[in-house]
Amino acid sequence: MAMSSLAEKVVAGDVRSVARLIRDIDDGITEVREVLKDLYPHTGNAYVVGITGSPGVGKSTLVDQMVAHLRERGKTVGVLAVDPTSPFSGGAILGDRVRMQRHSMDQGVFIRSLATRGHFGGLTQSTRSAIDVLDAMGKDYILVETVGVGQDEVDVVRSAHTTVIVVVPGMGDDIQAIKAGILEVGDIFVINKADREGTDKTLSDLRLMIEMDQKKYDEGGWKPPILKVEAVFDKGVAEFIDEIDRHARYLVDSGIGLHFRSNQERVRQELAEMVKGRLIEEVLNTLTDTGDFDRAVESITEGNTDPYTACDQLVLPTIRHSKESRD
Amino acid sequence: MAMSSLAEKVVAGDVRSVARLIRDIDDGITEVREVLKDLYPHTGNAYVVGITGSPGVGKSTLVDQMVAHLRERGKTVGVLAVDPTSPFSGGAILGDRVRMQRHSMDQGVFIRSLATRGHFGGLTQSTRSAIDVLDAMGKDYILVETVGVGQDEVDVVRSAHTTVIVVVPGMGDDIQAIKAGILEVGDIFVINKADREGTDKTLSDLRLMIEMDQKKYDEGGWKPPILKVEAVFDKGVAEFIDEIDRHARYLVDSGIGLHFRSNQERVRQELAEMVKGRLIEEVLNTLTDTGDFDRAVESITEGNTDPYTACDQLVLPTIRHSKESRD
């Protein structure tokens, strides 16, 4: 079958097939599911690093340096940019984009951006599927760059083995924002542009927050290190990669392991999201095809019903039948 | 019925009932739907203003001043904080929280925060429902404060008549981020902390972006004004409120109108989201109750199947029956 042959090419590392498959995932082409099923047995070997932080903290420069270091260490690397402000995904100025191109001729590096936000399955599902593809393709490391605010981003980084939070000095308010949502998912903190004023203050603020969980570390939990980096001058990047390696060893030694699809909680989350996306896709498509959805919209705009009642009338018949069939 | 009596109390403006209902919405209590159906005929009278921007730009201070001005003009005000960094929703420092309390004894002001992110219906749906409640309660203005990054926030502000984007001088990168997602939804731009260095640069950057749509304005579209404000000193706030009024008149004069639930596109979006949330809730609950979901998780973690196949097996039976029932 055509599908299996595409999967075979991906596993063989064919760049053109991988690019096509990731584009199809991003476009929400439903047929990719069959290819992903075929690829699944070939996944679970890559080490996934999530890199997140506010716009302007220099995530892409850091990712660019990480790629260079990992390549020097003989590792192959995949990069996924799901950050609308990233030069990888076309959000930033030309200079950045040119800088990235130093890896463009390297067969050991594969860089792609994901833009999907509006599709039913959502960005998280697209990202997970794209990670599977790069994993099956044989990349040793997969770096996923996201902009660090919002539930979407938190969900995306849950797919990573190591999550890196990047900040810059003097962003007091932003540390507050990090605190509110994303601190608990950070395995490593990087203070980038660490030549700037305010680095020590940012360092002590972060340290204070991290040490609030001291009890967890005393019981053998991972204590997130804070690293000073100047990505643009390649200062501190090697040490940063060493810390990622140290975290990987921690995951193995602590029994958490590297194969997340043997981890009940992660599988539960991933499957729930997949089911959600799939449900919405199937049912909304049907409601649209039959014209039921349009009729409901009309009925609301004409003032004949309210959206809450219309929703009941659209959804409940679908559900009731599925429940009855179980009895 | 108890439900109807709760709806009656909300319409009568009973603060305790409103507070309870909004808390139930935030907690994802499904029974609130019946109350929302009863309230629906009483909605459509409030003017909804969305205020969004990065953490630290002073959104809450601005909202606080807006409340004071609107009260002086004899208007009642509801405030919904869906921003994890807002002092209204408990994200920020004590000083801010105390400052807000100047409205706490004013019967014409009702302030609540929404925290829900994990529930099936999602933050957007919770916010829309909470807006309905404050609307039915009889508030003239409803101010919705969100942190301005991510699809969630864009969806939330779609519920507003006027969307305000707040920036501060010298955030070049952030303007880039705004550009990437949220510029197109801004009806008014506020440069807060306009005593700071870099105000003129920010002003001209914004102006440049806005003028890229010059053709739209030439055809009678709304051209977003840019206002310099120092919210903490109450400078420029009155003029800002005047601009909101001017935008409201534009909506009426242009034929767009103020009653969004007679607007096809808005109703379509809202209903689609409501259907999604409802579907997920009903089906995932059933799959959880029957144990099918847990068995699928186990099967994946034991390596007997892949998540894509498991998802098919969970979802397809539900859907197939609903399709068959239509034939």
Which among A41, A267, A280 has CB closest to B300?
Answer: A267
A36 near B CB under 8 A: yes
Distance between CA B122 and CA B269 in Å, rounded? Answer: 14
Annotation: CATH topology of B44-259: Rossmann fold (3.40.50)
Q: In Å, what is the CA distance from A7 to each residue of A75, A113, A137, A140, B61?
A: 23, 20, 9, 19, 55
What is the average per-residue pLDDT within B63-69? Answer: 95
Q: What is the pLDDT of residue B293?
A: 94
Handedness of CA B263, B266, B269, B271 (dihedral sign): negative
A315 near B CB under 8 A: yes
Residue A319 CB-half CA count within 13 A = 20
Distance between CA A16 and CA A10 in Å, rounded? Answer: 9
Q: Of the candidates B226, B251, B177, B190, which has an alpha carbon nearest to the alpha carbon of residue B61?
A: B190
Task: List the structure tokens of B285.
Answer: 């609950």
Handedness of CA A27, A28, A30, A32 (dihedral sign): positive
Which among A172, A314, A322 has CB closest to B318?
Answer: A322
Which among B117, B267, B312 has CB closest to A307?
Answer: B267
Which pLDDT band, with edges at 50, 70 and 90, does A176 fall under? low
Stretch(es) of chain A classified as CATH 3.40.50.300: 43-258
- Bridge partners (DSSP) listed for residue B224: none
pLDDT in tens, A133-168: 999 999 999 999 887 655 566 667 777 999 998 988
Q: What is the pLDDT of residue A95?
A: 42
Contact B91 A152 (CB under 8 A): no
Mean pLDDT, chain A, whole residue set: 82
Distance between CA B262 and CA B160 in Å, rounded? Answer: 14
Contact A300 B267 (CB under 8 A): yes
Angle between helices B122-137 and B264-290 (to 10 degrees): 120
Contact A271 B310 (CB under 8 A): yes
In this structure, what is the dihedral angle of CA atoms B39, B42, B44, B47, given to the nearest 10 degrees?
-100
CA distance B51 to chain A (A): 17
Phi, psi for residue A141 in degrees, rounded to 5: -120, 140
Residues of B in contact with A290 (CB under 8 A): 326
> Taking a C-beta distance cutoff of 8 angstroms, is the pair B136, A135 a contact?
no
ipTM of model over 0.95: no
Which residues, including other chains, have CB under 8 Å from residue B291's CB and lie 6 or more apart?
none
Which pLDDT band, with edges at 50, 70 and 90, does B121 fall under? low
Distance between CA B270 and CA B161 in Å, rounded? Answer: 15
pLDDT in tens, B155-181: 677 779 999 999 888 765 555 555 555
- Is A43-258 in CATH node 3.40.50.300? yes
pLDDT in tens, A26-80: 887 878 889 999 999 999 999 999 998 877 788 889 999 999 999 999 999 999 8
CA distance A3 to chain B (A): 15
Residues of A in contact with B278 (CB under 8 A): 311-312, 315
pLDDT in tens, B8-53: 999 999 999 999 999 888 887 878 889 999 999 999 999 999 998 8
Stretch(es) of chain B classified as CATH 3.40.50.300: 44-259
Q: Of the candidates B115, B275, B241, B162, which has an alpha carbon nearest to the alpha carbon of residue A292?
A: B275
CA B299 to chain centre: 40
